[in-house]
Structure 1
Amino acid sequence: MHFFNPSYSGHAFFEAQSTYEDARAVIYGMPMDWTTSFRPGSRFGPTRIREVSINLEDYSPYADRELGEVAYFDAGDIPLPFGSAQRSLQVIEEYVRKVVADGKFPIGLGGEHLVSLAPIKVMAEKYPDLVLIHIDAHTDLREEMEGEALSHSAVIRRALDYVKPENVYQFGIRSGLKEEFEFAKKHLHLYKFKVIEPLKECLEELKDRPVYVTYDIDAIDPAYAPGTGTAEPGGITAAEAIESIYLLSQLNVVGFDLVEVAPVLDQSERTQILASKMIREVILTMVK
């Protein structure tokens, strides 16, 4: 299963050349938007993020490195059973567990945010004291959404089944129910509205601890990233998004995912291009 190739006819991420065996990192797509509550289309995000990566330069002036210096493998999109959130999560979990067991750094592309629950579960099994960094516009702490406990709006609440509440750090949050904010203030580390300043303040306390990062593209203001299902004004800039990757890279990041890119909602492609650039910087800074 772990040798599956992209099922589309386009490019792998920046025409990745490494084999699975030789790769230090593995990029995989989680093309699911079964529980999207507003505008669907994020299932097409992983493919388009790869396709627009042809726009990138191999060289990053931020990292002063080239992608050719890092061995990474693009596995394409995981084939998921349409319409079944529970079964889809099981399939993703099975795949990520194999990647992690093989000693690879997992880089997931979503898909709606619920898909992140599978890699979070896998990483928490490997690292019992895992720190979860959640960068997002939304709290994602609902108990359920329209009767469904498995929902993109409940992913962090479900993640608490695997990660200790005191190990969850939320940044950029600016939308959610009142009770979600009250829960976060009481049990988690909640940093509203901003990402860069509070993240800098947390670096020392999180140093050397295993960290998994789940990054929702809607943390970024829709002026810079409109291609997402539940856009929320008041977010960070594209420049701050890139800066946040470099701050995160100072930590012991053991896995990363970027979710909620919906290409059909952004004809300008700036959302997809920004997402692709963020993944380039993840590869160059977090893959040791």
Structure 2
Amino acid sequence: MSLKSGKLTVPLRFMGSSDNYTESSIILVGVPMDFTCSFKPGTRFGPQKIREVSIGIEEYSIYMDKSLEDASFFDAGDLDLPIGNPEKSLEIIEEAAGEILKDGKFPLFIGGEHLISVPIIKKVYEKYKDELVLIHFDAHADLREDYLGCPLSHASAIRRVIDFMPSKNIYQFGIRSGTKEEFKFASLNTNMFTLEVYEPLKAVIDKFKDKPIYVTLDIDVLDPAYANGTGTPEPGGISSNELIKSMGLLKDLNIVGFDIVEVSPPYDLSDRTAIFAAKIIRDVILMVSDYENN
């Protein structure tokens, strides 16, 4: 497998993508995996749908005051994963992330379920070691040791990250769902901020000024009114405007990797969830380009 060819599965590309891997500083990769979804599957269709609807938004972002015409990114397509084999799939994802990092480029992954984040973060951590900070936006704590006896589950994504990364480097925002044990674990290990995102992020953001940061964004951090197309919707979430404002707080930080997960098109009849995800991806591309050019 080589991302450079741009000949992975799904020929559809994100709006404004370059045709040249080598000359692009940001590499976008889709990961169509939903093998461990605990409620409603369908996130494997997320990457393709997000690309499809990306043409419905403008290349110019009013938030970044910049256009994709000014950015350099390459959409490599979707990884070809063995359905039903999460272990092998995670190996393939890790290999792809490693290739991007080895080539000195920015990894931007579209899920798929949240478990896909683990091998990507692992490769980024190997590069930056204990300097790396993880910012986690989600409705769910994702701190179960296992789900129904399975340690490789989207319900255990952040717990699996803690297998190799210091838990105190992990900052969780918007969390409003989890077991009692997960919240107790978080109180002793991670930095968890429940229910809200913008205000707690604003309060701690100075801690990250000189740190490399990886951001993992589960779309269900939003209230289902704004993002109904997800497999485990959780009422009581934040608005799309709060998330956009929160992303704006990251603009001047050293973001070194990003993923957006859990968009599930079968439940997104209006495409509102996929469109919002496309908008976030556009702004992340522009945000990273902005930082690299400074």
The alignment's TM-score, normalised by the length of structure 2, stands at: 0.96
Q: What does residue range 217-228 of structure 1 map to in structure 2 within 5 Å?
A: 217-228=219-230
Aligned residue in 2 for 1:70: 71
C-alpha distance in 1, partners of 2:246/2:261?
16
Whichever residue aligns with residue 152 of structure 1, its letter is H
Aligned residue in 1 for 2:168: 166
CA deviation after TM superposition for structure 1 residue 243, in Å: 1.4
CA deviation after TM superposition for structure 1 residue 244, in Å: 1.7
C-alpha distance in 2, partners of 1:102/1:227?
34
C-alpha distance in 1, partners of 2:247/2:28?
17
Retained in 2: the 8 A contact 1:24–1:104? yes
Whichever residue aligns with residue 184 of structure 2, its letter is E
Are 1:111 and 2:112 an aligned pair? yes
CA deviation after TM superposition for structure 1 residue 73, in Å: 0.1
Moved more, 245-254 or 179-188: 245-254
1:137 to 116, 136, 139: 139
CA deviation after TM superposition for structure 1 residue 6, in Å: 4.9
Taking a change above 3 Å as real, the CA distance of residues 18 and 69 of structure 1, as seen in their structure-2 partners, is farther
Aligned residue in 1 for 2:53: 52
Whichever residue aligns with residue 74 of structure 2, its letter is F
CA deviation after TM superposition for structure 1 residue 58, in Å: 1.3
CA deviation after TM superposition for structure 1 residue 37, in Å: 0.7
| Deviation per residue, 1:99-142 (Å, 9 max, x gap) | 01101111100000000001110011001121111110000000
Aligned residue in 1 for 2:40: 39
Identity %: 51
C-alpha distance in 2, partners of 1:9/1:264?
21
SS at match of 1:268: coil
C-alpha distance in 2, partners of 1:111/1:280?
18
Aligned residue in 2 for 1:149: 151
C-alpha distance in 2, partners of 1:224/1:52?
16
2:281 to 275, 279, 282: 279
Whichever residue aligns with residue 286 of structure 2, its letter is L
| Deviation per residue, 1:1-37 (Å, 9 max, x gap) | 1223353353x11041241000010000111000001
Whichever residue aligns with residue 34 of structure 1, its letter is F
C-alpha distance in 2, partners of 1:5/1:277?
24
Are 1:216 and 2:218 an aligned pair? yes
Whichever residue aligns with residue 285 of structure 1, its letter is M
SS at match of 1:8: coil
SS at match of 2:259: strand
SS at match of 2:55: helix
SS at match of 1:75: strand
CA deviation after TM superposition for structure 1 residue 202, in Å: 1.2
Whichever residue aligns with residue 8 of structure 1, its letter is V
Whichever residue aligns with residue 109 of structure 1, its letter is I
Aligned residue in 1 for 2:254: 252
Retained in 2: the 8 A contact 1:43–1:112? yes
SS at match of 2:28: strand
Alpha carbon RMSD of aligned pairs, Å? 1.0
C-alpha distance in 1, partners of 2:114/2:188?
23
| Deviation per residue, 1:174-229 (Å, 9 max, x gap) | 00000000000111101000000010011111111011110000001100000000
Aligned residue in 1 for 2:179: 177
SS at match of 2:46: helix
Structure 1: runs of 5 or more not aligned: none
SS at match of 2:3: coil
C-alpha distance in 1, partners of 2:88/2:110?
18
Retained in 2: the 8 A contact 1:131–1:163? no
Equivalenced residue count is 287
> After TM superposition, where is structure 1 displaced by more than 2 Å over at least 4 residues in a row?
3-10
Whichever residue aligns with residue 191 of structure 1, its letter is F
C-alpha distance in 2, partners of 1:5/1:191?
41
Are 1:186 and 2:188 an aligned pair? yes
CA deviation after TM superposition for structure 1 residue 240, in Å: 1.3
Aligned residue in 2 for 1:206: 208
